[in-house]
Amino acid sequence: MRSQHQQGIEASTHGLWAATAPVLQTEPLSGDSSADVAVIGAGYTGLSAALHAREHGLSVVVLDAADVGFGGAGRNVGLVNAGLWLQPNDVLKALGKSYGERLIAELGRAPQVVFELIECNAIACEANPKGTLHCAVGRKGVSELEQRFAQWRELGAPVELLTREQTVAEVGSTAFAASLLDRRAGTIQPLAYARGLATAAMRQGAHIYSQTPVQKVEQERARWKLSTSRGSVLADWVVVATDAYTKGPWAEVRQEQVALPYFNLATKPLSPALRESILPSRRGAWDTQSVLTSFRLDDAGRLIFGSVGALRSGGAAVHKAFSRRALRTLFPQLAAVEFEHAWYGTIGMTADSIPRFHRFAPNVLGISGYNGRGIGPGTVFGRLLAQHVAGKLREDEMPLPVSPVQSPKLRHLKEWTYEYGAQLAHLFASR
């Protein structure tokens, strides 16, 4: 684990979400302990695995190198979407009929799983299950949405393709040619959701430790010993839930992903009149551009605007200037509005945009690589991992096949291209 100083802006870059999420106190692990299941990583995957493992009566210890929600879980846009970025037909092509159909069905229901967990556990996280809007830029965008619409409708999903006029009314901007309204989806305060899952898991008896990087994992007879700087956990099962923020053992999880940086800026709370004119139904939205932008409101009426890019070195100024221009074009009434919070994080992309299910060693499992759509999938996969560990779901009944860890070709070059390509795109974009 690198020091706080070496991590620079990433170490404290949870922006608005850290400012408005309920506080959660957790301590580092000190001493030796034992559990049925040790979970490495306190994001959605690890916390959902922990909560559901407790429901199956298993004892659980969760260890996070930093804090609950330190990774993608505390930095994302908060769009709780159904399915993957890939369109359903592409999922079938990549995985075949059996796994593909299971994955599409599981992730189609993922927002429902998230919103039910929020309700059952009374998680205060600004949950708004009113749907999301995917907004078309130009003719190319419209044809992409037409395909998505046709494929999801074929599967019986409650999606609607909105006309330009309907989109103008939904978004409060004339920038988009159409939009896809997905009524399964919605928005949350993402860090509050992670902390709420952690609270629910602890209430059920899970032990969660922060500032506790797992440094070494070794087999001790039939069990696994996880070593940290001040203690250890002996467990029958290990769930590796470290995704794009992986450090220490199983570093290959990170090496199999291409890191895509994504930033968010939040305005001050808008006046009631401005609020009425922007996303009046409070649905979160994003567009079809390849360097996409996203925008949504929080409960206090701040507009959260995001796009691809890292707010470090020259990128910070370029992306902020682009965001001001983009907001002025999308919502001219916001021309004078100041940004109050800025933060960014790393999204883990896989070569074929499909998440990965790994068996690293006997009884050591992990799922990762959500390609920017991890709230629903992380929650669902955590639940499925817990079912598998509890003996309720066979490995071949999971919606993903076990696959070996494979590093993508030219990973560093692709990461460089994402970061600096986004800077170039934003430097020259008129909005």
Ligand X SMILES: Cc1cc2nc3c(=O)[nH]c(=O)nc-3n(C[C@H](O)[C@H](O)[C@H](O)COP(=O)(O)OP(=O)(O)OC[C@H]3O[C@@H](n4cnc5c(N)ncnc54)[C@H](O)[C@@H]3O)c2cc1C
Query: Rule CB under 6 A: which residues touch ligand X?
Result: 40-46, 63-66, 70-73, 75-79, 81, 213-214, 241-248, 262, 344-347, 368, 370, 372-376, 378
Nearest to ligand X of 71, 172 (CB atom)? 71
Residue length of the chain:
431
Among 204, 201, 190, smallest CA distance to 48 is for 201
Q: Could you tell me which residues come within 8 angstroms of residue 107 by beta carbon, excluding any fewer than 6 positions away? A: 82, 83, 84, 376, 377, 380, 399
What is the CA 200 to chain-centroid distance, rounded?
19
Minimum distance of ligand X from residue 143's CB (angstroms): 24
Cβ closest to ligand X, residue 247 vs residue 275: 247
* 17 vs 331 by CB, closer to ligand X: 17
Closer of 68 and 178 to ligand X (Cβ): 68
Q: Rank residues 251 and 317 by Cβ distance to ligand X and give the closer one.
A: 251
CB 134 to ligand X: min, Å: 12
- Nearest approach in angstroms of CB 106 to ligand X is 14
Q: Would you say 71 or 88 has its CB closer to ligand X?
A: 71
Q: What is the DSSP string of 22-80?
A: PP---B---EEEEEEEEEE--SHHHHHHHHHHHHTT--EEEE-SS-TTTTGGGTS--EE
Give the shortest CB-370-to-ligand X separation in angstroms: 4
307 neighbors 292 (Cβ within 8 angstroms): yes
- DSSP string spanning 215-246? -EEEEETTEEEEEETTEEEEEEEEEE--GGG-
Give the sign of the dihedral formed by CA 219, CA 223, CA 224, CA 229. negative
Beta bridge partners of 79: 187
Dist. CA 355–CA 166, nearest whole Å: 34
Q: Which is nearer to ligand X, 146 or 415 (CB)?
A: 415
* Minimum separation from the CB atom of position 307 to ligand X (A): 10
Question: Nearest-CA neighbor of 134 among 259, 328, 296?
Answer: 296
Residue nearer to ligand X on the CB measure, 196 or 345 = 345
Identity (one letter) of the amino acid at 226?
L
- In the complex, what is the shortest distance from the CB of residue 221 to ligand X, in angstroms, rounded to a whole number? 23
CA distance 60 to 195: 17
Among 258, 237, 24, 10, residue whose Cα is nearest residue 124: 24
Q: How far from chain centre, in Å, is Cα 309?
A: 16
Distances, alpha carbon 39 to alpha carbons 148, 286, 368, in Å: 36, 33, 14
Q: How far is the CB of 408 from ligand X (least distance, A)?
A: 17
Q: Which one, 331 or 343, has the nearer CB to ligand X?
A: 343
Q: Determine the residue with CB nearest ligand X.
A: 374
Least distance CB 273 / ligand X (angstroms):
27
User: What is the CB neighbour count within 10 angstroms for residue 313?
Assistant: 12
Q: In 148-167, which positions are buried (b, 16+ CB within 10 angstroms) versus exposed (e)?
A: bbebbeeeebebebbeeeeb
Residue 88 CB, nearest approach to ligand X (Å):
17
Is 40 or 137 the residue whose CB approaches ligand X more closely? 40
CB of 259 to ligand X, least distance (A): 9
